[in-house]
Every structure is written in structure tokens, then in C-alpha cells.
A and B are shown apart, each in its own frame.
Chain A
Amino acid sequence: MSDKKHTHTHQLQQASRETRHEWYGKTITLASVVGIIILVVAIIYFIGQRGLAAFTTDHVKVTDFLFSADWNPLDGKQYVGAAAMIVTSFLVMILATLLAVPFALALGIFMTEFTKKRLTKYLQIMIELLAGIPSVVYGFLGVTIIVPAIRTIFGGAGFGILAGILVLFVMVLPTITSLTIDALKGVPAQYRQASLALGATWWQTTSKVILRAATPGILTAIIFGMARAFGEALAVQMVIGNAVLMPHNLISPAATLTSQLTSQLGNTVNGTLANNALWSLALFLLLMSLAFNLVVRIIGKRKG
């Protein structure tokens, strides 16, 4: 868009202020995009390269890594089995999400369908607050409240999978809830009106029409919640007990992929097998988050 107000010839021959601004703007945004792309590619390349070193340089068998539960990489390549951590990570992720979904759905439905705007606003603030609390605070609460409670009720030390699940439950709840609310709000008002006009009750409308229409959005919310649970390190490490053991009951101590990474990374020396094995865990986490993203994509496409 050129400025037609300029009258002097020499000004007309040059690019106008607005043209220059546009050029600046385009350059800055393009540069940022290129920067981000380079960054992402570099991260994937770096983690990929370091994560594969255990298999290429140290000749750890991929099948051992995935299916053996013998984890003690300081002692040699036959002890690089991540199965116990992989199972624990999935277990806490699935159970925490399963626990959180009913609450998130109920909250979402209540806030979008059954209550006044004012209360919704307050609830929204509360949920955002929950989402914004740093994970170390959740971990701290877990150690001070949940762990002793488990110790009193079930015996043992209290540190273990159940404590991890309960802490993660509180942490994924706001994620799933707020995305569920967005999904429910995204259902066109006509659906609601049409259903009510046909004589359906509010509950019938909600359960048969709104929830049905919002399903892809809700599934996306659940996947994001799962991704958060899978990736959380600090809070889990504080309460799970950090013993690389195949979980045999809910109060036994265990370790997730992330908790093992945070507790051991400083202890290993760059370039050794023990260090490479940790990078392999990081690579596994990266691949999992790519998988989560892919699933969200697929669900998003079906929506259309």
C-alpha cells in the first residue's frame, strides 16, 4: 500500500515509509521462522545423534533397551534395559489421565452448560491458577501431604507409583479441563438451539449433541494431558521413590523415564555408556512426544 500524499518527485521514486515497514516486518518474521526451524532441527538432530550412540558406538541391542528391565548402565552394555521405566511412565500417565478425565469433563460441562457466566469466570481463574503453579510446588505438596498419607494408609515408605499418579492427576487436570472447555465452547449455538427446540432436555442436549460434537476436541485435550503427564519430571521424581524396578503394585517405588533422567544426568560423564544410555531415554521421550503430536493432528483432521 503506497502513500499517495507525497508530491515531491524524489520522494515518489523512493520506497515509502510504509513499504519499508512492510519489508522490515516481513524480514523480521521470516528470520524468526527460519531461526525456530533451525532450532527445532538442531534439537532433533542433537538428541537423535546422542541418543543413538548407545546403539551404534556401545552396541547396546535395541531389543534389550526396549524389553529388558535390567537397568544399571554404569556396569556395562548388558544392563541397559529401559523396560521398567517405559512401563512405569505409561502406567502413571494412563492412570493419572483416567483419573482426571471424569473430573475435567464434569467441570467443563458444568461451566459451559449449567452455570451462570459469573461463576464460570471465577472457576476459570481457579483452573488457570492450577495450571500455572510450578511443578516443584506440586512435588513439594506431594512429599509433604500425599506421601505421608499413603504411608499411613498402606504402609511402606509412601514413595511410589500411587504418589506419582496422584500428583500428576492434579497437574493434568487443569490442562484437560481448559482444553475441554474450549472444545465445548466451540460447538455452534445452533446445535444447542435446534436440540432444545425439538424438545430435548438440557441433559439430553448435552450428552447426545454437545459432547458428541465436541468429541475430537475433547480427545485432543486428553492427549495433551497425557503428554504433560508423560513429560513431567521434577514433581514425579520427588515422590516416586526412584528405584528402577518393574512395578508390581501401586505403592512400590519405581522410576519413570523422566525421573531417571533428572536424577542421573549430573552423575554420568559425557561420552560414557551411562551417559549415552540416558540420551537414549531422552530420544525415546522425544519420539513419544512426536507420536502425541501426530495423534493430535490425525484427530484434528477428522474434525473437518
Chain B
Amino acid sequence: MKRAIPLLFVAALLIGLASQFSGCAGAKGGDAASKTYVKPGEYDKYYAFFSGGHSGQVYVYGIPSCRYLTTIPVFTPEPAKGYGYDEETKSRLGGFTWGDAHHPGLSETDGDYDGRWLFINDMPNARIARISLTSFTTEEIFGPIPNLSAAHACPFPTPNTEYVFAASRFSAPVPRSKASKIEDYAKDFNGIIAGVKVSSEGHMSLGFEILTPPFDWDLADAGKGPSHGWEFFSCYNSEMAFDSLEIKASQNEMDYVAAVDWRAAQKAVDEGKGDIIGGVPVLDPNKVKGIIYLMPTPKSPHGVDVNPTGEYICASGKLQAEVSVFSFKKMIDAIAAGKFDGEKGGIPVLKYEDVLEAKVPVGLGPLHTQFDDKGYAYTSLFLDSQIAKWKVGPPWNVADKVDIFYSVGHLMTSEGDTRHPTGEYLVSLNKIAKDRYLPMGPSHPEATQLIDLKSPKMEVLYDFPTYPEPHYAQMIRAEKLKPLKIYPLAENKNPWKIMTAEEARVERKGKRVDVYMLTIRTHFTPDIVRVAQGDTVYFHVTNLEQDQDITHGFGVLFSSKNTQVDPGETKTIRWVAEKVGVNPFYCTNFCSALHQEMQGYIQVSPAGTPIASLQRPDPKKLEEVIALLKK
């Protein structure tokens, strides 16, 4: 009996603990499940585009089901979609085999997502990619941008996609080829803020660069509404430390948010006020005034986010417990009145009190803020592992908090950085998954949580892992996108395209061989190719299919060559006949009932063997193929 009492105590404790744990799991069983359920065959309401971090890719999910839809290869070769293997995408990668993709930026019109493109940065290599949202493929990679040393505050498009931006995270000598001593950091190193123009067709070109002190530029957001025409950038390391940044860059009470008047900066460059550095015009704020201002911001700010009306700029000091809300109007008034507190590298510094509208005590480690349609802001709290919901406007109070698992970095609300957030969902992109999923070894996926915003209290609906490592994501209403189902052959302008079996052939000129090849269920035409050792063979493969999802692959055995040709596409693969022998190739993408039979052979004869300069498929075979392809 005496022993029963402590046992009972332990049991009670366990029950108490258990209820505690089930409570902190957040989601409330069946009701939450029905809110994420999308019936088989039905579609999600939103597309969500997750940056793939150091995978260099973009992951696409459906919200609210949280189903993984696809990966869009961007900065890294990806054999599943044959990206980076054919000549065109290989050259797009520019010799890099990785990127660190941090921030997706959906194109906007009038401050709302328009569904045309998705921009995304490659932070370490200072590049920006543009993905078409009709083909879901990377159409353009711009950069490395001259003078830039990593692009973290990037791309954060302006409300009409006039510009995307990039700013140095790791300040370095400018130009980068300058031989400098690291000890001369403060006087010899510089940060760069670059404005990249986007044409109406989406093409990127450098608009301007601004030379800044060697701060570490961190994040950015575009002004909208009244603040349209301005881009805001946060920075840390105003201490200008070059080693032990963990300590040395965390000493100042205030770092900065920079406000860039991009119209004025572009005008200054157009008027020839830039110095040519690294081959491009760079504006020096010591000489060119009226383009950039600094707003002191407490404690190494991270996220800088403009609210939907464009009146407020919310900066989160990551080493404090508050969000500083700046008033755009106050900023403009202070600039107009010339109320400055000195300069940094020629950039006028405003006074914190002059521009501050409110300080919101959100909790520890605030990082990023997004918005809903009811006048609330949502700030991620890294240290507290929470999301705080707060009122934008008096009384500037915290209305609700929800626990997340664990250590949230970015968050996104549905269309939450536009002028018209929908206020339906919030996705918390957590940096630490730890024990949230079935154990799968020491390398963990990232933890992501879907939170319902439709009721006054936030509710965690769903947990889902993502492959490393999304930083930021954006979601757009599905009806805004009209993706292609196939590439219409009539619009295929590839110079290597062929349309009929009669055109299929192998042409050999010197040591260069061009194979004009067709694919259609279920054969390659031609499927026999004869070359000599040392020949460089270009396979130009046109997929004649015009039916949905009939992609043919082209993979060569014992090589690094494999690409995917979608219906209506032409792709070119370069393969060098290094060894004498016979090399099979085959369709790598299951296409139909006779997919296994879709193959061919390359016969490599010893160098010097006479090879026909023009080879056509066997006439008997051709006849069958022509009969099939008859239009």
C-alpha cells in the first residue's frame, strides 16, 4: 500500500504529461483533417512555391492539402527533368552545379501576384533566375551580377515587376578582383545594392548599383501604395567586423534599414552619374544624393516587411523581442525636412524616433512578418518557436500566439506580401524538424506547418516535411495560373526541330555528327546511328507527341547524358564517341505500353573507318513510320 502511493503519483504525472503533449501538438484531430482534405482527382486552392535552399531548386506544393506537386530545377542539374544535361539548359547553368536558392518572388501587377513568373535568387553566386509559370521551367538566369558578393536581399519584386533587387550579404572589395587585405575591411570593402530591371517580357538587365559601407545586407521588400517607388533593405554588421561576426557584429544597439528611391537611382545612372566599376555604373552616395537613406533599427534586424497598404515598414530586430514599425510618411517628412543624424558612407542617417510609428512586443527572436486581409500581421519568433499575431495600428497589441515545432524562420501567409492578402492560411517554415517525423537518420528534412487563419485563433492544421532546405515560400491562388499542358509543335522555333520522318537523318561533317531524331510512341527515328571514334555527336530530339504527359526521355548508356523531351519540344544532347563498340540509348521516361521497346543503338567504329556522311533510316522501316505520322 505504501508503494502504491508513489506509483499513483507517477501515473498521475504521466497522464498529466501526456495531456500536455497532446495539447502542444496543436492540431485538433478530425476537424483539422477536413480542412486540409482535397478529394482524389480534385485540385488544391493554392500553389505554394518553396525555395529549395542549397538544393538550388524550387519545390511546388498544393495548399491546403500540403501535397508535394513537383520540383522545378533552377540552379542545379536535375536528371529527373533532364535539366542541365541538354545544351541549352547546360549553358543556362553557366558552369555552376549548385546554387543556394533563398527567396521566391512572384511577379506582380498593381502590387498583387499576376501569375506570370517566379523569380528566385542564388545567394552565393549572386544570380537571379526567372521561372515561367506557364511552363514551370527556368527560362532565364541573370548573373553573377558584377561587384556583388552574394545576393541574400533578393529578389523581392516591385509592385509592377519593374525591378528585382540584389544586395551583398558578404561585403567584399569592389570590384571583386581588387587585391585587398582583409584587415582593411572598413575602408577597402563595400556592400552593393543592385536594381535589376525586368522588361515586359521578363528579361532582366542591370539597372543600377549603389555603393554602400561594408554592412551585411540581409533582406528586402518593395514599397507599395504610397511607398511605391521605394525598396527597403535590412542589414546587420554595421560594426563592420570581418571576423568573429557572431560576437563582433552583435554589439551595436542599432543597425539599419536602408530605403532606396529606385526611380531616382535609375535616373542618376541614366544621367551618367555612376562610376564604371567592374564594367557597370555604380552610384557613390558620397557624390550622388537623394537615392538612399538609412533608418536606425535595433539589434541586427532580419526581416523588413511592408504592410498591404504600404504605410508601414516592419523591421524585426532578431536579438530583441520587438518589431519596430516605421511610418513611410514620417520617413518622407524627415527627409523633406532634412532631419539627419550624420551620414554613413555618404548615406544620410535618419533619427529612429523621427520615423518610428510603434514598437510591438511580439516575443523573442522576431524574424519575418506577413499579413492578412483583416489588418493583422504575423511575425515568426525563432527563439520562442511561435507565431505572433498582432494588430497593425493602435493599440499595436499582440492578439494571439501559436506554438510551432521548431524554430520558425520565414513564414508565408496566403498572398501575404501583396496589397490584397487573402487571410486564409499561414505556412510556418521551421528550421528544425528534430522528432516530428518517422526517424530517417541524422540528416533531417525541414519541418513545415500549415496554420488556419480563418478564425480569430490560429490553428495548426498539418505537419509536412520538405526536402532541404526551403527558406521562404510564396503561395498564389491556383486560378491565377494557366500552365501549358503540352508545347504546341507549331510554336516550336528550335532550329533543330524536324516534323516528319522523311527529315529524320544523321549528318556527318568532319568529326561533327548531327542526328535529327523524332520520338513518338514508341520509337526513335532514326534508331540506328553510325559514327566513328572521336566524333562529337549532337542528338537533336524532337518529341512529336501532342498528348498530355507523354514525355520521352533520351538516355545514353555508360554516360552522363540523359534528358527529357516534353511533348512538342526539341532538345539537343552532346555525346562524344570515346570508345569503339556499340552503345545503346533508350527512352528513360515511361511513355506507353511499348516503352521497353523504345531504344536504339549507336555503332562506334574505329577512327578512320569510312562513315556515310548522310544516313537515313531503313526505307522499309521509314515507310511504317511515315504511315503512322501521316498528317
A and B part of one assembly: no
